[in-house]
Amino acid sequence: METTITTYALILALPLVAFVVQVFFGKRLPRGGDWLVIGAICIDLLLSLRVFFGALFFSSFAGTPFVWNLRGWLGDAGTGVLALSTGILVDNVTAMMLVVVTSCSTLIFLFSTGYMAGHRRYSLFFAYLSLFAFSMLLLVLGNNLIALFMGWELVGLSSYLLIGFLFEEPVVAPDIVPASACKKAFITNRIGDTGFLLGILTLFSFTGKIAYGDVFEAVRNGAFGDHTTLLTVAGILLFCGAMAKSAQFPLHVWLPDAMAGPTPVSALIHAATMVAAGVYMVARLYPLFTPDALTFIAYVGAFTALFGATIALVMNDIKRVLAYSTISQLGYMVFGLGVGAYSAGLFHLMTHAFFKALLFLAAGSVIHAMHRAYHYAGLEWNPRSRENDAQDMRNMDGLRKAMPVTFATTAVAVLAISGVPFTSGFLSKDMILGGAFAFGFVENPQHFLIPVFGFAAAVLTAFYMARLLIMTFLGTNRMAERGQEALRESPWNMTVPLVLLAVLCGWFWYNPDPTTIFAKGWVSSFLTPPASAVPQTLVAAPADAHHAAHVAAMLVSLSCAGAGFFAAWMLGRRGAISLEHWRLSGSRVYYLLANKYYVDELYNRTVVAGMVQVSRILGWFDKVLVDGVVNATGRFQTGLSELSGFVDRYGVDGLVNALAGFVRDTGNEVRQIQTGRIQNYVVYATVGLIVLIVVTGM
Amino acid sequence: MNAYDLAFYLLAAMALVGAAITVLSRRLVYAAFSLLLAFLGVAGLYALLAADFLAIAQVVVYVGGILVLLLFGVMLTHRIYDTTLKSVRVQPLLGGLVAAGIAILLISVAWNTPWNTTHEIAAEPTTAKIGEAFMKHYVFPFEFVSLILLVALIGAALIGRSRTPGSGNGR
Amino acid sequence: MVQLPHFLTVSALLFAAGVFAVVTRRNAVALLMGVELMLNAANLNFAAFSRFSHNSLDGQIFAMLSIVTAAAEVAVALAIVLNIYRNIETIDADQAGDLRG
């Protein structure tokens, strides 16, 4: 199954064309042009599937990835000064990413037709979605660092546009304002991008190349010489970009606020695809990371996994829970890559994309229904008040009767994310935890914290996901009578994507054997780690160690999930554990979690307040020094006028009057010139021209 | 005085007389028609200057297009049978002085400057060459001016559209 | 023998006529006619220099571009004049002073 450049050019061009058409003509097309965008992405999905199956069954990229180059893209190819070419690189990782991006996009675009129905800027929403699809595909398909960076910034732009899409709404959830949330996302990402760009420039200045293969080759041939520390620094700088994009601690603050966007956006961009771009980048540049850099990555990822999970415990906003869960799951992927479980990290990216998109879409379906119910009940929907907040899980309860499809699919996703057997999440999570187990407990005992964090996060994940399920769907609904009648299942264009995504959460897509990926699954042979380009390699656990650690890891993680579920069951059914009691007891820990470890407050106090201080100092400078000078001058002038008034009154009155009269008369004379008649101005211009020529001529 | 010179003086006189009537006539319709004379004279001068394509363009664009537009302007802004239409003239003395000044200046420059003239090259048809120049060396100005023309025409249509109450609010 | 200065003289006189019209006329259409005369004078100069000075086509090209621009200018100007006439029932350039400060 040979592929040609036409395929990839088409994959890139279709969403771009759809975007352009949609921006200019979207409003005039029937149905707001949604069919155009969905059609484009559907064709992309088919093409991607063809590429993917070609790679899977016919090994079209085995050994040699597909590369296509456009020479002379930047700089001058003739002189060789900064002659850079761009192009397309497709290998197994790219093929997998293509399928993940296009399939999630297709389903979520379809969902959006229901969710956004009737919105004033419906067609613009689809235009932005299409722009996002194009940017993400560019990011995935590019064969060099600059193209990666361009796609990286473009997805950032579309994310900004979509987070702020509901910009007219003052508030969409307690303390989230769309217009500031999108700025926060953009600025936080800029901080990471600075690091990313510095990393790219470091690599470029040492190797003079930008294409991945060339850079790896140059590094392998000793472009960095003895400066391995610098290579580590470059790796960490590159990872800074991933930290912002994939919401790793401490640059995670934007992701929870990004939930201000419409829910399909949260599902597509802030759960399934864009946030995974950081993981993709680490995987793509994997050969460049030194052992030290990878250890750093592993620690950041593991810490973030636990950190996000603890906050998700106490959140009540359904989308917030999912947002922190996303942060935690991204931490899993990152530390999976960090500990050398390369295929596991990418595999988890894929499975997570499906089950997290499903969770978000289900949340969207629930929120949609809640809004309608509030509307029918005649209640003012008010995100500021706890009682009438359509996104607050405490107001939901017992939706399973009204929304059976949403309930069933959510349950599947909850099982998958918690790592219960017979789900995709079980396979990928176990692979990561097995890798971490082998890395931390077997190979590098000094790094034992990494697997410990991973397993702890697994317990918490099972707990908070079960809590979400219980609070949302079980129990009895307490909503007013009229509102309850209006609660009903979402239309087919919203439930069909849910069902399809739920099917993708099954184990059978990835491996016929539901217990382990190692025996017959395609993943470990399809996504093999590339050979490292750095001099000394990580003491990564070899594959057989993974295999050996696998059973132990599986048992531990299963008991983790079980413990989490048990705790959640106690919470929901028995009331033995009650978050409400915990809150009322005034526990410091509870408030620490509920306030998200005060990270936002810390940033407000330090970074933001620092900026405010600087401006205040500048303001003080302005007020005291500049104004002082001005005021002193003014006072001096006042004194002078008093003096002159004195002189005036007692003697020079006549002179001053004469002077004033002179000025007035001159003004009157000169005013004649300003007639406002264009003819007079032409005369002046012509006379001026004559004078000018005569004078210069002489 | 050969035929070339004779032609020059005739055409120059035609252009200048046309211009003079345009400028001096009190009747706007006369002014417009004498402008035709001036344009045709200039077109003839182009032909004398071996600029055949330019001469044709002058006739087509100025006489065929611009002048017709101007006539429309005259007609549409006045009662249509009112051919005795007067145009008030203001400050004729000042205008005369300025015009005379600039004319004297330009003429003295024209006669007193030692022009670096290379002359006596046989005239040949220029159309093909101009076409080639526009498509090769001057392709950017060419496209740009086309764009300007397009934008100006759309803008003119938009500005000139009637905004009567029945036809919407001009969107 | 007719030389470059002869053409320049004709052009100068045309230009002066244009300036005179622009300065003295109050009617907006008549004003435009003056502008057209000035543009013609400039074009004549281009063509004359093109013929006598370098014998290249550059001058004619410029004149062509200038003719096109003049067409655009007249179209827009007349649209504005018509609009002014519709709004204030006159095209006397002195009366249309609503925007004057």
pLDDT at position C14: 94
Residue ranges covered by each domain of chain C: 4-88
CB of B110 within 8 Å of any CB in chain A?
Answer: no
Minimal CA separation from C44 to chain B, in Å: 7
- Residue at a domain's end among B51, B80, B109: B80
Question: Which of C22, C26, C100 has its CB closest to that of A682?
Answer: C22
State the pTM of this model: 0.63
Per-residue CA distances from A577 to A254, A567, A587, A594, A595 (Å): 31, 8, 14, 17, 20
**Among A673, A679, A691, the residue to mutate for chain B (most B Cβ within 10 A):** A679
Distance, first Cα to last Cα, chain C:
55
Residues of chain A predicted below pLDDT 50: 538-539, 541
pLDDT digits (tens, 9 = 90+) for C2-33: 888 899 999 999 999 999 988 888 788 888 88
CB A417 within 8 A of CB A435: no
Task: Give Cβ neighbours of residue A269 (< 8 Å, ≥ 6 apart).
Answer: A132, A155, A158, A159, A162, A258, A261, A275
Question: Residue C95: closest CA among chain A residues belongs to which residue?
Answer: A677
Instruction: Please indicate whether residue B145 or residue A615 has the higher confidence score (pLDDT).
Output: B145
In total, chain B counts a number of residues equal to 171
Task: State the average pLDDT over residues C68-92.
Answer: 82
Chain C residues inside the 8 Å CB shell of A676: 97, 100
**Side-chain-facing half-sphere of B5: CA atoms under 13 Å:** 6
pLDDT at position A433: 84
Minimal CA separation from C92 to chain A, in Å: 11
Q: How far is CA B123 from the centre of its chain?
A: 24
B37 belongs to a structural domain? yes
CB A464 within 8 A of CB A312: yes
Chain B residues inside the 8 Å CB shell of C7: 45, 49
Q: Are residues B2 and B72 in the same domain?
A: yes
Put simply, the answer to whether C60 touches B53 (Cβ < 8 Å) is yes
Q: Are residues B132 and B68 in the same domain?
A: no
pLDDT digits (tens, 9 = 90+) for A157-206: 988 888 888 887 766 666 677 778 888 888 888 888 989 999 998 888 88
- Residue at a domain's end among B53, B80, B107: B80
Percent of chain B with pLDDT strictly greater than 90: 31
CATH 1.10.287.3510 for domain C4-88, yes or no, is: yes
Asked if the model's pLDDT at residue B169 lies above 50, the reply is no
What are the contacts of B43-47 at 24+ separation with CB within 8 A?
B44/B7, B44/B11, B44/B14, B44/B15, B45/B8, B45/B11, B45/B12, B45/B15, B45/C7, B45/C10, B45/C44, B45/C47, B46/C44, B46/C47
- Residue at a domain's end among B21, B48, B80: B80
pLDDT digits (tens, 9 = 90+) for B114-136: 887 776 666 778 888 888 888 88
Start-end of H helices in C25-57: 28-49
Question: Which of C19, C31, C100 has its CB closest to that of A676?
Answer: C100
CB C46 within 8 A of CB C33: no
Q: How far is CA A59 from the centre of its chain?
A: 32
B70 belongs to a structural domain? yes
Q: In this predicted complex, what is the ipTM?
A: 0.86
CB of B59 within 8 Å of any CB in chain C?
Answer: no
Put simply, the answer to whether A686 touches B105 (Cβ < 8 Å) is no
CB A223 within 8 A of CB A207: yes
Question: Which of B31, B66, B160 has its CB closest to that of C82?
Answer: B160
Establish whether the linkage from the previous residue to A250 is cis, with ω within 30° of 0.
Answer: yes
Q: What does the alpha-carbon distance between residue B16 and residue B34 come to, in Å, rounded to a whole number? A: 10
Q: What does the alpha-carbon distance between residue A517 and residue A29 come to, in Å, rounded to a whole number? A: 47
Task: Give Cβ neighbours of residue C62 (< 8 Å, ≥ 6 apart).
Answer: C46
Structure tokens at A161: 């546009």
Distance, first Cα to last Cα, chain A:
83
Start-end of H helices in C25-101: 28-49, 58-88
Classify residue A317 by its DSSP letter. Answer: B
CB atoms within 10 A of CB A502: 21
pLDDT at position B83: 47
Helix (H, G, I), strand (E, B) or coil at A72: strand
Minimal CA separation from B11 to chain C, in Å: 10
Q: Are residues B14 and B75 in the same domain?
A: yes
Instruction: Please indicate whether residue B155 or residue B162 has the higher confidence score (pLDDT).
Output: B155
Question: Which of B39, B100, B110 has its CB closest to that of C16?
Answer: B100
Q: How confident is the model at residue C90 (pLDDT cuts 50, 70, 90)?
A: low
Instruction: Please indicate whether residue B167 or residue A150 has the higher confidence score (pLDDT).
Output: A150
Minimal CA separation from B171 to chain C, in Å: 16
Per-residue CA distances from A28 to A116, A147, A313, A595, C58 (Å): 17, 34, 46, 46, 46
Phi, psi for residue B130 in degrees, rounded to 5: -65, -45
The torsion region of residue C60 among left (phi > 0), alpha (psi -120 to 50) and beta comes to alpha
- Kindly report the CATH number assigned to the domain that includes residue B69: 1.20.120.1200
| Residues on A contacting B at a C-beta cutoff of 8 Å | 679, 683, 686-687, 689-690, 693-694, 697
pLDDT digits (tens, 9 = 90+) for A212-270: 888 888 888 877 777 778 888 888 999 988 888 888 888 888 888 888 888 888 888 88
Find the angle CA(A625)-CA(A628)-CA(A630) to the nearest 5 degrees.
Answer: 115
Classify residue A211 by its DSSP letter. Answer: B
Q: What does the alpha-carbon distance between residue A97 and residue A142 come to, in Å, rounded to a whole number? A: 12
Q: Are residues B63 and B5 in the same domain?
A: yes
pLDDT at position A136: 92
- From C92, C24, A674, A681, select the one nearest B91 (Cα to Cα): C24
Instruction: Please indicate whether residue B60 or residue A628 has the higher confidence score (pLDDT).
Output: B60
Question: Residue B43: closest CA among chain C residues belongs to which residue?
Answer: C44
B117 belongs to a structural domain? no
pLDDT at position A468: 85
Residue with tokens 């024209």: B110
Please name the chains neighbouring B, where neighbouring means 3+ C-beta pairs under 8 angstroms: A, C
Structure tokens at A392: 């607050």
Put simply, the answer to whether A677 touches C19 (Cβ < 8 Å) is no
- From C69, A184, A403, select the one nearest B62 (Cα to Cα): C69
Name residue B162's amino acid: S
B97 belongs to a structural domain? no
Q: What does the alpha-carbon distance between residue A133 and residue A250 come to, in Å, rounded to a whole number? A: 27
Q: Which residues of A186-195 are buried (b: 16+ CB within 10 A; e: fewer)?
A: bebbebbbeb
Structural domains counted in chain B: 2
- Classify residue A669 by burial, with Cβ atoms within 10 Å: 0-12, 13-18, 19+: exposed
Task: State the average pLDDT over residues B68-83.
Answer: 70
Task: State the average pLDDT over residues C40-58.
Answer: 85
pLDDT at position B20: 92
Q: Are residues B10 and B76 in the same domain?
A: yes
Question: Which of C22, C97, C100 has its CB closest to that of A679?
Answer: C22
Question: Which of B19, B31, B54 has its CB closest to that of C63?
Answer: B54
Question: Which of C23, C26, C94 has its CB closest to that of A682?
Answer: C23
Q: Which domain holds residue B132?
A: 124-162
Minimal CA separation from C5 to chain B, in Å: 5
pLDDT at position C22: 87
Structure tokens at A625: 């020094």
Instruction: Please indicate whether residue C41 or residue A170 has the higher confidence score (pLDDT).
Output: C41
B2 belongs to a structural domain? yes
DSSP chain B: --HHHHHHHHHHHHHHHHHHHHHH-SBHHHHHHHHHHHHHHHHHHHHHTT-HHHHHHIIIIIIIIIHHHHHHHHHHTS-TT-TT-B--B--HHHHHHHHHHHHHHHHHHHHHS-------------HHHHHHHHHTTTHHHHHHHHHHHHHHHHHHHHHHS---GGGTT--
Put simply, the answer to whether A690 touches B101 (Cβ < 8 Å) is yes
B47 belongs to a structural domain? yes
Minimal CA separation from C22 to chain A, in Å: 6
